[in-house]
Amino acid sequence: MSRENPKLRAELDGIPTYKPGRPPAAAEGVPAFKLSSNENPYPPLPGVLEAAVAAATKINRYPDLACAELTAELAERFGVPAAHVATGTGSVGVAQQLVQATAGPGDEVVYAWRSFEAYPIITQISGARAVQIPLDAEERHDLDAMAEAITDRTRLVFVCNPNNPTGTAVRRAELERFLDRVPGDVLVVLDEAYREFNTDPDVPDGVQVYRDRPNVAVLRTFSKAYGLAGLRIGFAFAHEPVAEALRKTAVPFGVSQLAQDAAVASLRAEPALLERVMGLVAERSRVVSELTAQGWTVPETQANFVWLRLGERTMDFAAVCERAGATVRPFAGEGVRITVGESEANDLLLRTAAQYRKDL
């Protein structure tokens, strides 16, 4: 019997592992809140659970490979051709398909850094080289530097708007200027996972931006505002050649019928969605203004989280929060990303942050 290990692709060596937000360590008598994964604190929207339960009675059957009902619903809701819609296993699944469709060994994928931690992983899996462009001093995308980093090997550029983990957003004029500089054969992916939380009219809606730009795709998700993170469903809008490539690179039957039906029901519950989003946005304003009043530097955020650049204090602050009953997402040596949760969780976080400053 051979004792040799199978040969694995060299590209897999050193791939950073995705660190999921930690669940709260529930100590006795202490409420525990998870503010580490940018999830929605609320239960599913009205009608969603019923749709999922009905779909669950048919789990002996494969799901609809084409996600036809959801595709039609998305096309109608966003006013795009159905042929431009592609669905996948979370927007991270769709992002991976986009990289697979465009980049391989010898190619380059450009993105800001720090940004969504899946970008380096999916880039490295493809065999392409990651070109990471540091955020500017205000924790924002440096779009000029990103445009300058594009070479004839660049195949894809991610623009994370608003950016995870800093929450900062790219504005319309700077995005248009950037897109005008990007060669037409380079795909620009506007990752708008947190779009629903945006309140600034100057932040462009990718759905409008992509329409007359064949090299732009928009990524959206049901995981954040819609609260379906556990069902793994996201989508992209892209012109036909790219949307077609997404159909080719999809894992067959990857999106479950539960996810499809729950997503359709979520889209039909828009008034309730808007109400919840408005509630979270109001909580975000409260968290930002109270943290600022306590003396913290908080970059403007258009997402459902805030960023504190704490440098060497990052892990200490995260540990203090965890002991108090709230897990946050630390990036060692850099900063802490804190999800805006239910008001009780935000209260706890604000109390903990205030105490932390007093103890400094």
Ligand X SMILES: Cc1ncc(COP(=O)(O)O)c(C=O)c1O
Q: Interface residues with ligand X (CB under 6 A)? A: 38, 90-92, 116, 160, 164, 191, 193, 221, 223, 229, 234
Least Å distance, CB 116 to ligand X, is: 4
Asked whether the beta carbons of 115 and 158 are under 8 A apart, the reply is yes
Asked whether the beta carbons of 119 and 150 are under 8 A apart, the reply is no
Least Å distance, CB 295 to ligand X, is: 28
Tokens of 64: 């609809």
Give the closest residue to 193 by CA, choosing from 162, 166, 167: 162
Give the closest residue to 145 by CA, choosing from 157, 162, 128, 163: 157
Task: Specify the residue, 179 or 225, whose C-beta has the smaller distance to ligand X.
Answer: 225
For residues 75-99, b (16+ Cβ closer than 10 Å) or e, as one string? beebebeeebbbbbbbbbbbbbbbb
Task: Specify the residue, 339 or 352, whose C-beta has the smaller distance to ligand X.
Answer: 339
Residue with CB nearest ligand X? 90
Task: Specify the residue, 154 or 164, whose C-beta has the smaller distance to ligand X.
Answer: 164
Task: Specify the residue, 160 or 258, whose C-beta has the smaller distance to ligand X.
Answer: 160
Q: What are the residues whose beta carbons fall under 8 Å from the beta carbon of 263, sequence distance 6 or more?
A: 70, 73, 222, 226, 228, 231, 233
Least Å distance, CB 93 to ligand X, is: 6
Least Å distance, CB 271 to ligand X, is: 23
Task: Specify the residue, 229 or 350, whose C-beta has the smaller distance to ligand X.
Answer: 229
Give the closest residue to 126 by CA, choosing from 152, 157, 105: 105
Least Å distance, CB 111 to ligand X, is: 10
Task: Specify the residue, 103 or 193, whose C-beta has the smaller distance to ligand X.
Answer: 193
Least Å distance, CB 113 to ligand X, is: 13
Give the ranges where 182-256 is alpha helix by DSSP (H).
206-209, 240-249
Q: In Å, what is the CA distance from 170 to each residue of 112, 140, 191, 322? A: 12, 7, 11, 32
